[in-house]
Amino acid sequence: MNGPIEKPSSKELTGPILEFLRCGTPSVWFDKALEEIDSLLIDHANCEKKAAATAMNLMYRHTAMPNLLTKMSQLAREELLHFQQVVEIMAERGIRYRRLGPSRYAAGLRKHIGKEEGQALQDTLIIGAIIEARSCERFAGLVPRLEAKGENQIARFYRSLLKSEARHFEDYLELARTSKAGNNNNCDSRIEEFVAFENELVSTADRNFRFHSGVPV
């Protein structure tokens, strides 16, 4: 089943992020997240680790781009710190860090990456911006719900991540718009295409609950 597309009412969520994403997370995803806090934290840890790895990979592949190197080195440090913080919360709660199957979300976006090297870089940066924006939107939506449930430790942690996640979104977007893609004038249209792909992923039925999954079934 498809859930309604709603905009979470959170003071922490800045307008530009939701404008960029076009749609909010369906409320049924937040309901599921409160029932699956262990899985939420485990997959959140995985997401932070993967985000750091993506940043490092971009640094290794594009050594002639000083602005990218600077922004990605900072992002990698912060994502690894966030990973450490999630793992510490899990340890305090007695949650075993175990492997979860991959989400369809990232793969569903990356299958649309262009073949030409410049376009592939720009597309990868656009995807990075989308993932960071959606993360920020979900943290903002989770905070008041977690507080209402009495999960204040996680709520405080997620609130603390909003500023850095919003900055990561802005950094990825800036790098995408200034990258030397095959047709750099096409950046805004590529953003629109990838946002449309992303909206479908988060608003349609998804059997596996993950931090970036779609409508739970």
pLDDT for res 101: 84
Mean pLDDT of 133-140: 96
Based on C-alpha coordinates, what's the Rg of the chain?
A: 17
DSSP 63: T
Of 61, 37, 16, which Cα lies nearest the Cα of 158? 37
User: Residue 89: what residue type?
Assistant: I
**95 has pLDDT over 50:** yes
DSSP 206: E
- Binned at pLDDT 50, 70 and 90, residue 98 comes out as confident
**2 has pLDDT over 90:** no
**Maximum separation of any 2 CA atoms in the chain, in Å:** 50
Establish how many alpha carbons lie within 13 A of residue 161's alpha carbon, considering only the half-sphere containing its beta carbon: 31
Contact of 17 with 201, CB cutoff 8 Å:
no
Domains of the chain: 25-202 (1.20.1260.10)
Rounded Cα gap, residues 18 and 115, in angstroms = 29
Written as six digits, the tokens of 139 are 């943290």
Tracing tokens 């440090």 back to the chain, one arrives at: 77
pLDDT for res 4: 42
0.85 exceeded by the pTM? yes
pLDDT digits (tens, 9 = 90+) for 151-163: 999 999 999 999 9
